Amino acid sequence: MSKEITTKSLMMGALFIAIVTSLTFIQLFSGPNGGLVHAGYIALFPIAIVFGKNYGAIAGAFGMALFDILSGWASWAPATFVVVGLVGYFTGLIASGGGNQKVNLLALIVGSLISISGYFIYNAFIMGFGVESALISASGDAFKVLVSSMVVIMMIPSVIRTKNQISL
């Protein structure tokens, strides 16, 4: 059974893409191999947890890939589209509305592991940087998703309340 695409769902998807892209531009610092530690996951994780797998996948894939294209990291855009799309999808699939903090934590862990392993594979084997360089990059990726997860786990109740108040 297919779900109808409405003006509201298109607007919400576009808004979530814009939010993820905007927060990804907030650079916390550069990693040892030039990788970026940014605030994009602080937007993506609550979107996926509270609004679900479809919005999570769309916001993650398009939002962060758009950042890559706009900021000179275009060679990373295909990997970002796939990896972060999967992060958003599986985080949203597991959390399923965000009502249970233990399940939210599990969703954040799974999403984080997808991000770390996805970029590790891309760095080591597709970009050809090798396993050692990919491991160094993975440490920055791990830090990024760990900090984001700690912030997000505290945000979820407020995001749920806001969603309910504005009936989204």
pLDDT of residue 3: 76
For residue 166, tell me if it sits in a domain: no
**Per-residue H/E/C for 56-98:** HHHHHHHHHHHHHHHCCCHHHHHHHHHHHHHHHHHHHHHHCCC
pLDDT of residue 64: 98
For residue 168, tell me if it sits in a domain: no
- pLDDT, tens digit, for every residue of 78-115? 999 999 999 999 999 999 888 899 999 999 999 999 99
Residue 51 in contact with residue 159, Cβ under 8 Å? no
For residue 167, tell me if it sits in a domain: no
Report pTM: 0.93
State the CATH number of the domain containing residue 32: 1.10.1760.20
Residues of the chain with pLDDT under 50: 1
Q: Which two tokens stand for residue 114?
A: 């997808």
For residue 55, tell me if it sits in a domain: yes
Please state, in angstroms and rounded to a whole number, the distance separating the CA atoms of residues 80 and 38. Answer: 13
pLDDT of residue 137: 86
For residue 62, tell me if it sits in a domain: yes
Please tell me the total count of domains within the chain: 1
For residue 89, tell me if it sits in a domain: yes
Range of the domain at 43: 7-161
For residue 50, tell me if it sits in a domain: yes
